[in-house]
Amino acid sequence: MVMDINEIREYLPHRYPFLLVDRVTQLTEGESIVAFKNVSINEPFFNGHFPHHPIMPGVLVIEALAQACGILGFKTVNKLPADGYVYYLVGSDNVRFKRPVMPGDQLRLEANVIKGKRGIWKFACKATVGDELACEAEIICAERKVA
């Protein structure tokens, strides 16, 4: 295992219920990341989306991918939220949802750097469940000093 939840919490400022990365199994700085989100029926969004047919909202799948991108960005530039930095999700292009994500699924989050320049990063991302593509997107994140 490359990063457990304790190390992930050092690299992401998010906390429950908005921390959407549980584990990182592969990370090559400046190149790529593979992370996982274990989807449980106990997720608070399932109470309303949808009570009789629970599906993880697509925007949260994109958010989980963006959080994986944030970890990769932080690791690549050797910065931390504790240093006063955040990665904002500033754009998504070519987003496609191919399969619903449901309780019990393990969401594999993959991101590959397309380019990075002056704190703006573009990633090619995909989320899969088993061998099935759930979502693909190009995600743009911006590093910002906030403190």
3-state SS string over 62-89? HHHHHHHHHHHHHHHHCCCHHHCEEEEE
Is 14 assigned a catalytic role? no
Locus of tokens 């704190």: 119
Measuring CA to CA, which residue among 133, 19, 92, 116 is closest to residue 9?
Answer: 19
The one catalytic residue in 14, 49, 52, 53 is 49
CA–CA gap between residue 34 and residue 24 (Å, rounded): 6
Among all residues, which ones are annotated catalytic? 49
